[in-house]
Structure 1
């Protein structure tokens, strides 16, 4: 997975005054009220901007409805730890995040939609010059307080095993927030996923089972890579992820900072999709803190796009 590979800054910070909101087994964070009280689940709306180069639906970068819908299923299987799916685990530190994602049902103008916004780059006045959040926002961007903007990027096939995705993070008072890719004033926010890594695909790379979006959504909701800033003492600020001070790739376990086996299956590694299957309880608590305390992320829960 590639999120902070594209935009990464290292900042030294003071943890002392922020400790009370960190992921910790000793102190729990308050979760927001569910917007589906019957189920106790937080629902968040997505708009999928399919950026393509004039192809028919289902061809090349203009992905089919079925592949997009399957990707959302995978996202929910992972966040809900659903039994009988690749997103299930029975690890004692694993949990059901009680967060689900739905394709938007209304456009910003209030019109019905299936949550998929197809953008033909051959028919837009201003060409797509780059692959940054601001570049994509120029051709398709819905209010980020009402929608999670996800762009499917038409990157060349030569990038399929190199760049899989990136996400902007939320600015909060949680420790380590500065290690996320935080948008500046006026910058767009959202998630970009290489079309070769979106949903289940026949790519020969390690991203073939749709876990790129799960990983990037973790960043969007405030999670760091498990190695954080490559510091054994203060890595991802979640006590139930074994400390590690270097990026975690592949599928073979190894020993981390304290001689503990690294949690290869954690969604916030760059592990192979086939072994990913866990958000820990502390990671879930951190995401819930963001959903309660970040103005934009909290607003998503009452978006008219959910109606």
Structure 2
């Protein structure tokens, strides 16, 4: 695993979109968390080791069939059953009713659409990638909504919104629920997520108010796919370009190498690193209407978290 890294290239290749929005702050938040928790790197290394072991076993045992014949011995290396993830939406709004029920409902619907390969734009996938489109078979079910009013205009990215002691909302049993915090992040940041392995107290996804669900205020990023992207991180996916140049990977074999994110709605083919970028992947930085697929390799990577002993096992057991 000499290629495993948790750091972003020093030249900040991610940058910002043309309208000065920072699509995702997950890697920067990870840097912050690594400084606060000296043991986090080892935890994430161990999760990566298990993930690679599981995906390697799948490739040599018949696409997830149990090793040893499936007679009650070793479980499948990749979790193959349908997954339902209960969601707690924690809303910190500047005035009561600022985040509507319509936003909440639309966001859950969009997550279910994207993680079950029901995005209608998937029909636009170029032939090169058509055989790689995954149905993750993950359903998100709204469990509860917790809402408070706070007038501050910026919560930042150091997880203050996740603690009642700092004016935010404490996480609800993060081993058994996906917590989504909706608030004014500030700094032009759309959202960020915590990767598997981090503290249970901060585990979950943060989405800016204007980018949660379907909103006119979000513009080209107001179609609810910031959450799809961030939940991808929460399920251990890296950015499609690996947060580095051509030789730094996202640890997924079927996603082409790239050297930087793509923005707006790029034409196919957009070629970097001597191959066409999978710009329509949910883990790139394109606008919401132009992302519409996870790959099979990404699906395996996510599902490796749910096997016995996996980092997200509690969500299915």
Residue of structure 2 in register with 1:289 after alignment: 304
Secondary structure (helix, strand or coil) at the match of 1:213 reads helix
Report the structure, 1 or 2, having the larger helix content.
Answer: 2
- Give the distance between the partners of 2:148 and 2:316, measured in 1 at CA: 26
- Give the distance between the partners of 2:176 and 2:231, measured in 1 at CA: 16
- Give the distance between the partners of 2:174 and 2:104, measured in 1 at CA: 20
Residue of structure 1 in register with 2:284 after alignment: 269
Give unpaired runs (5+ residues) of structure 1. 35-40, 105-114, 123-127, 172-182, 303-307
Does 2:119 correspond to 1:79? no
CA offset digits 1:247-269 (Å, max 9, x no partner)? 22222142121x22111110001
Q: CA RMSD in A?
A: 3.1
Does 2:194 correspond to 1:168? yes
Residue of structure 2 in register with 1:50 after alignment: 91
- Cα gap change, 1:19 to 1:130, in 2 (>3 Å): closer
Secondary structure (helix, strand or coil) at the match of 2:259 reads coil
- Cα gap change, 1:247 to 1:79, in 2 (>3 Å): same
- CA shift at 1:189, angstroms? 1.2
Correspondence list, 1:138-217, <5 A: 138=164, 139-140=168-169, 141-155=171-185, 159=187, 162-171=188-197, 183=198, 187-203=201-217, 205-217=219-231
- Cα gap change, 1:283 to 1:255, in 2 (>3 Å): same
Contact 1:23 1:239 in 2 (8 A): no
Secondary structure (helix, strand or coil) at the match of 2:272 reads coil
- Give the distance between the partners of 2:244 and 2:57, measured in 1 at CA: 19
- Cα gap change, 1:133 to 1:24, in 2 (>3 Å): farther
Normalised by the size of structure 2, how large is the TM-score? 0.71
Residue-pair matches, total: 258
Residue of structure 1 in register with 2:275 after alignment: 260
Contact 2:162 2:201 in 1 (8 A): no
- CA shift at 1:191, angstroms? 0.4
- Give the distance between the partners of 1:297 and 1:46, measured in 2 at CA: 14
- Cα gap change, 1:76 to 1:88, in 2 (>3 Å): farther
- CA shift at 1:26, angstroms? 4.6
Secondary structure (helix, strand or coil) at the match of 2:236 reads coil
Residue of structure 2 in register with 1:224 after alignment: 238
- Deviating runs (4+, > 2 A) in structure 1? 3-11, 15-34, 85-90, 128-139, 203-206, 231-234, 247-250, 293-296
Residue of structure 1 in register with 2:162 after alignment: 136
Secondary structure (helix, strand or coil) at the match of 1:271 reads coil
